[in-house]
């Protein structure tokens, strides 16, 4: 049987797409392999969100040219494939397939053609495509990524995603619930609902609040997460559904991008600093103790010292548990590339602001984590930690806790006491749940 290797870059949506591609190709008789060396088909599932993500892929394609066995099919899938299309076939003669995110259904026939020496680019959008009949081959046995929405209808001026993933469309709620039942039957108890602006989910009948309640009520599910929401789509209904569904975890990853209203306007984020803060206040009022993380971009065109200071002050005001910080990366075709050249922020300024932002975020995170030592919480053991003999576990509010265990602990829940922190991650000691005191008399 021919073997297939898929290497995945970028976001969880890409991880989920790779799982779908593996599932489809296995159903067609391919055997998955965990190395490109000797594989009959090698697919690189790519990300286009930042320039360096694409450079990594180009470097990787160069390496693979040396490693591939003669006659192996090399294909590029995902957002970079969608963005560059046939240009990729022209610039890299070893690449035979370029397949965008809405064309994975064609993979078996495209691979057949490529094995006969043909070369293809398939990058049409298909607004009906959700791959409902594909059975994902899941990489992780502990949690399941479930795509609920594809594409994006926002037009943030820095972002390539609307170009690479097309307009927003949602799966039917019943299909998402069906898939949730399937993953429970496989022994998985945590699901992560995926979408570019997941809380704008709407299948024509149901909104994201309905979806959270329906998935959260599936028998056997213990944890529901989702990523990434848009601040504008946190309706009161969505917040209530989160707060009132016990299986929905107390964590929100809220991408704010900037703390400056004028900057947010240039980014076309469609909210102001004040609206952002109001969203945080509503979330925290409904769910005290909510874990809150964010994404922030520094060095967006025209960023002034005052605007950057607004971002730092937002971080200090909200006190995020963590933040993913990025230096602005200009993406071909996005509105940000058409902004006046004099708005470009010098690299040294970007670097200095980035360092200041990271120091601020880390300092707050450290302070918050130190204050939690001694707390008890439930964690789900996910995998072996990279170093030492500990295992990596996750709390409901998205803290990473390293715990002692055995390979059999993976996928189990334990109650731990937080005994140490690096400032970012915790170590935890398992504790016995206290038995209720006997009734007097």
* 258: contact with ligand SF4 by CB under 6 A: no
* 152: contact with ligand SF4 by CB under 6 A: yes
Question: In the complex with ligand SF4, which residue's Cβ is closer, 147 or 216?
Answer: 147
Total interface residues for ligand SF4 by CB under 6 A? 10
* 170: contact with ligand SF4 by CB under 6 A: no
Neighbours of 367 (CB within 10 A): 11
Closest approach, Cβ 152 to ligand SF4, in A, equals 3
Radius of gyration of the chain (CA): 23
Closest approach, Cβ 149 to ligand SF4, in A, equals 11
Residues between 215 and 234 with contacts to ligand SF4, criterion CB under 6 A: 230
Closest approach, Cβ 270 to ligand SF4, in A, equals 9
Question: In the complex with ligand SF4, which residue's Cβ is closer, 2 or 162?
Answer: 162
- DSSP three-state, residue 431: coil
237 token code pair? 């209904």
Of the listed pieces 71-79, 105-113, 158-166, 428-436, which binds ligand SF4 according to CB under 6 A? Answer: 158-166
Build a one-symbol-per-residue string for 38-77: x at contacts with ligand SF4 by CB under 6 A, - elsewhere. Answer: ----------------------------------------
* 125: contact with ligand SF4 by CB under 6 A: no
Q: How far is 45 from 47, CA to CA, in rounded Å? A: 7
**What are the angstrom distances between the C-alpha of 111 and each of 70, 86, 235?**
15, 16, 44
Q: What angle is formed at CA 353 by the lines to CA 339 and CA 308, rounded to 5 degrees? A: 60
241 token code pair? 């559904």
Q: How far is 267 from 302, CA to CA, in rounded Å? A: 11
Measuring CA to CA, which residue among 409, 350, 359 is closest to residue 380?
409
The sign of the CA dihedral 195, 200, 202, 208 is: positive
Closest approach, Cβ 194 to ligand SF4, in A, equals 12
Of the listed pieces 148-156, 320-328, 339-347, 388-396, which binds ligand SF4 according to CB under 6 A? Answer: 148-156
Question: In the complex with ligand SF4, which residue's Cβ is closer, 161 or 248?
Answer: 161
Count H helices and E strands in the chain, helices first: 13, 19
- HEC readout, 318-354: HCCCEEEEEECCCCCCCHHHHCCHHHCCCHHHHHHHH
Closest approach, Cβ 197 to ligand SF4, in A, equals 5
Closest approach, Cβ 180 to ligand SF4, in A, equals 24
Question: In the complex with ligand SF4, which residue's Cβ is closer, 45 or 257?
Answer: 257
Interface residue list for ligand SF4 (CB under 6 A) = 152, 154-156, 159, 161-162, 196-197, 230
């Amino acid at each position: 049987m021919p073997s297939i290797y898929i290497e995945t870059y970028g976001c969880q949506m890409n991880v989920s797409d790779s799982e779908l591609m593996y599932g489809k190709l296995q159903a067609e008789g391919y055997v998955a392999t965990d190395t490109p060396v000797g594989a009959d088909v090698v697919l690189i599932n790519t990300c286009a969100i930042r320039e360096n993500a694409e450079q990594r892929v180009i470097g990787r394609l160069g390496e693979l040219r040396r490693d591939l066995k003669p006659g192996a099919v090399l294909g590029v899938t995902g957002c970079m494939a969608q963005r560059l299309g046939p240009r990729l076939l022209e610039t890299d003669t070893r690449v035979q397939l370029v397949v965008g995110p809405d064309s994975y259904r064609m993979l078996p026939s495209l691979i057949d053609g490529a094995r006969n020496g043909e070369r293809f680019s398939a990058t049409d959008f298909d607004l009906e495509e959700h791959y409902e009949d594909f059975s994902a081959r899941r990489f992780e046995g502990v949690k399941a990524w479930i795509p609920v929405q594809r594409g994006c209808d926002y037009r943030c001026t820095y972002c390539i995603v609307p170009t690479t993933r097309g307009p927003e469309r949602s799966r039917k709620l019943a299909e998402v619930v069906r898939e949730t039942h399937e993953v429970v039957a496989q022994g998985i108890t945590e699901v992560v609902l995926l979408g570019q602006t997941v809380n704008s989910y709407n299948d024509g009948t149901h909104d994201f609040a309905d979806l959270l309640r329906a998935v959260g009520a599936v028998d056997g599910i213990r944890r529901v997460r989702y990523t990434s929401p848009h601040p504008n789509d946190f309706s009161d209904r969505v917040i209530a559904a989160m707060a009132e569904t016990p299986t929905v975890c107390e964590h929100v990853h809220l991408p704010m991008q900037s703390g400056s209203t004028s900057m947010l306007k240039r980014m076309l984020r469609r909210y102001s600093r004040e609206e952002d803060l109001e969203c945080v206040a509503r979330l925290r009022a409904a769910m005290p103790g909510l874990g809150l993380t964010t994404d922030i971009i520094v060095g967006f065109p025209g960023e002034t010292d005052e605007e950057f200071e607004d971002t730092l002050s937002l971080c200090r005001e909200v006190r995020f548990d963590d933040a993913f910080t990025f230096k602005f990366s200009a993406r071909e075709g996005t509105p940000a590339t058409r902004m006046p050249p004099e708005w470009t922020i010098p690299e040294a300024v970007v670097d200095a602001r980035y360092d200041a932002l990271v120091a601020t975020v880390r300092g707050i995170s450290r302070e918050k984590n130190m204050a939690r030592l001694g707390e008890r919480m439930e964690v789900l053991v996910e995998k072996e930690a990279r170093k030492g003999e500990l295992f990596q576990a996750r709390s409901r509010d998205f803290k990473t806790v390293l715990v002692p265990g055995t390979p059999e602990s993976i996928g189990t829940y334990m109650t731990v006491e937080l005994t140490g922190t690096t400032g970012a991650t915790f170590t935890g000691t398992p504790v016995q749940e206290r038995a209720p005191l006997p009734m007097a008399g």
